[in-house]
Chains A and B, each alone.
Chain A
């Protein structure tokens, strides 16, 4: 099996049987913060604890990236560009997370639909290592 590494070590638990997004909860105001941070954007507090986010939620909004442009540097060769979808998924009682959405067509997306988090391969590095990202897919 290929070696698989997260795109950023602070984003989600990995490897794990049931991977979760890493977040903080403010000890002063209870605000949920993603990704992990050093201060609470709600109250300015710096006493934070580590928590994990729920893996199931609902689609709050979405869009598509239909075109390649300089600055979207995940595709080195514009010819390899493939349209992708992104959105915010609302995790009940926690926060709305911006994420890639795993669908092939806009018609598959509807605000309010049930979504769940998965960890998927994103790109293969020159040494064969697979770089993994979090994404949400329709349940």
Chain B
């Protein structure tokens, strides 16, 4: 089957941008990604884009020169950007496009993501008693995992501290003040064991990626990055997921495990070959759990890895080198594409202050969101 190459990347900074619309951020990202690839909008034969609160993605065509291009509007919770990338990949693999584009952008109000019981097939009592808050799920999964694998608050603090530090090195990150260990440790407890500065916040931003058939990539760039594996998975019966009034007694692999396994299989690359990873750190406990769910370590190995600094930019297996969601916030539509942008920078050797000492050959990106959906991408140069 046809391979897929990344030939253009762009990211609008993440953060808060006043009256600037998400559509305008998306538009800037598309223009920059096209420029990076050395092509024009008319060269794009398929596009996919998504956003939660930013408008209609295909509305962007209006300012680029509407040309009837097939443009899929996609929304898949926190996996939206990954789903857009997946759709663009499939368009190339199927042969309907030689060049495709994925874009994501968003602009969320401050505070918790609001949702409704109807969206999740639940009844009103579930919200009335105070269960319709995603942080509770992340906290309860973390509480159980920390109990099972002897992980302490120290590791949660260290992960957040690392990601804030990486954010200070990344000019596009939202939080660049490098919150330290004490500040995180003393921040307000929100949902035990999660404290305020261990969590990411909804924010604003955009990112875009231009793809082409691997066989023609060298026409556009001297540094193509190849998408070796990409997989989207939902939940299997038995895993603990967001907004579930009851969990079966039997356990099951999470959507992250399922998506990772499928992506590794597609790539023909194993977890031991991954040299950098961007993982969904909705809060620091989930960076820790996702390390194991993506197969990058075994359950329980995280404490020592974190203590030894293995996941720092200078470590053996850097994770969230751009600061992750903790330092960048989460504009949902753009989040997964921000991860892809970052690992492409690392593999091209263009990450500036947050560049790894050794330019990585392979990378993994992973997102997870409600109600239990994950997208994993494996890339190589």
- In Å, the complex CA distance between A122 and B240 comes to 27
Name the residue on B nearest A23 (C-beta). Answer: B246
Partner of A71, one of B112, B244, B249: B112
Question: A84 an interface residue at 8 Å Cβ cutoff?
Answer: yes
Please tell me if the beta carbons of B237 and A42 are within 8 angstroms of each other in the complex: yes
Chain A residues whose CB sits within 8 angstroms of the CB of B136 once the complex forms: 63, 65, 86
Please tell me if the beta carbons of B132 and A64 are within 8 angstroms of each other in the complex: no
Please tell me if the beta carbons of A69 and B133 are within 8 angstroms of each other in the complex: yes
Name the residue on B nearest A92 (C-beta). Answer: B249
Number of interface residues of B (CB under 8 A): 36
- In Å, the complex CA distance between A90 and B240 comes to 13
Partner of B114, one of A66, A71, A133: A71
Question: A7 an interface residue at 8 Å Cβ cutoff?
Answer: yes
- In Å, the complex CA distance between A86 and B245 comes to 11
B-contact 0/1 string along A31-45, CB 8 Å cutoff: 111110000011000
* B352 smallest CB distance to A (angstroms): 36
- In Å, the complex CA distance between A100 and B139 comes to 15
A61 in contact with B143 given A8-B124, A71-B133, A74-B128 (CB within 8 Å) = yes
Chain A residues whose CB sits within 8 angstroms of the CB of B188 once the complex forms: 66-67
Name the residue on A nearest B124 (C-beta). Answer: A8
A71 in contact with B189 given A8-B125, A63-B143 (CB within 8 Å) = no
* A134 smallest CB distance to B (angstroms): 9
Please tell me if the beta carbons of B147 and A122 are within 8 angstroms of each other in the complex: no
- In Å, the complex CA distance between A36 and B250 comes to 19
Partner of B125, one of A7, A64, A67, A84: A7
Residues of A within 8 A of B (CB): 7-8, 10-11, 31-35, 41-42, 60-67, 69-74, 84, 86-88, 90, 93-98, 100, 106, 111, 122, 133
- Which 5 pairs across A and B sit closest by C-beta, in order of nearness? A63-B139, A61-B144, A8-B125, A34-B246, A96-B247
Given contacts A11-B125, A64-B191, A66-B190, 18 further A-B contacts (CB under 8 A): A8-B124, A35-B123, A42-B237, A42-B248, A61-B140, A61-B143, A63-B193, A66-B188, A66-B191, A69-B133, A71-B127, A72-B132, A73-B127, A98-B245, A98-B247, A100-B130, A111-B143, A122-B129
